[in-house]
Amino acid sequence: KAGVTQTPRYLIKTRGQQVTLSCSPISGHRSVSWYQQTPGQGLQFLFEYFSETQRNKGNFPGRFSGRQFSNSRSEMNVSTLELGDSALYLCASSLEAGRLLEQYFGPGTRLTVT
Amino acid sequence: SQQGEEDPQALSIQEGENATMNCSYKTSINNLQWYRQNSGRGLVHLILIRSNEREKHSGRLRVTLDTSKKSSSLLITASRAADTASYFCATVRDTDKLIFGTGTRLQVFP
């Protein structure tokens, strides 16, 4: 089976712009979660989607949003980018919702905001 | 905010030695998981231990969990250069959110 794929892998944007990141889960996986990783804050949970519904949300401002499509693919959007949004954004998929199951991570999208 | 604090922040050892990493957390959990991350890439799930388990093994990995002390340890035996990576503990609470610790950077020298 192909692993979790994320596109693009690298992205440079300017403050004030908006960005959309994409994640394709492992075939058959219905849950997709997003994480932000920065040197200062570490790995932080953004949100989880299951069956096209947001199931859980972390403590991030409303500029961060996401959605999931019927084929389980997910996108996350960040509007009005700030310098502090520079980070590695990781997507993870699992068979079902709930953390009792292991999560499979993609390689991440490295976003740089200038 | 992060649930777990890991100790040490960084660890350097020679191939063949054992590596021990510790994770402490603040609130009650359903389970605790360990992940490995190579050079800022995606994370790889290593092992999951439930709150009612005390010890678990997987190959060269041994994980312990002490819920009374709110701590866990990951032991990698007979380490290899390929084990060089960052290791994170992650806890699961009732909300099913996966909350990661700060991580331990392990360097294994040939």
* pLDDT digits 0-9 by tens, B12-70: 999 999 999 999 999 888 899 999 999 878 899 999 999 999 999 999 999 999 999 99
pLDDT at B92: 84
Q: Report the C-alpha gap between B28 and A9 in whole angstroms.
A: 36
The helix/strand/coil state of B24 is strand
- Quick one: pLDDT band at residue A56, thresholds 50, 70, 90? confident
What residues of B are in contact with residue A58 (Cβ under 8 Å)?
Answer: 97
Distances (CA, A) of B3 to A30, B49, B102: 26, 16, 9
- Quick one: pLDDT band at residue A99, thresholds 50, 70, 90? low
Q: Which of B45, B49, B86, B91 is best to mutate for the A interface (most A CBs within 10 A)?
A: B45
- Contact between residue B16 and residue B78 where contact means Cβ atoms under 8 Å apart: yes
- As given in the structure block, the two tokens for residue A89 are 């954004």
**Facing B31 at nearest CB: one of A37, A100, A110:** A100
**Facing B97 at nearest CB: one of A4, A56, A92:** A56
What residues of B are in contact with residue A108 (Cβ under 8 Å)?
Answer: 40-42
Minimal CA–CA distance to B89: which of B53, B41, B50, B36? Answer: B36
User: SS3 breakdown of chain A: % helix, strand, coil, rounded to 5?
Assistant: 5, 55, 45
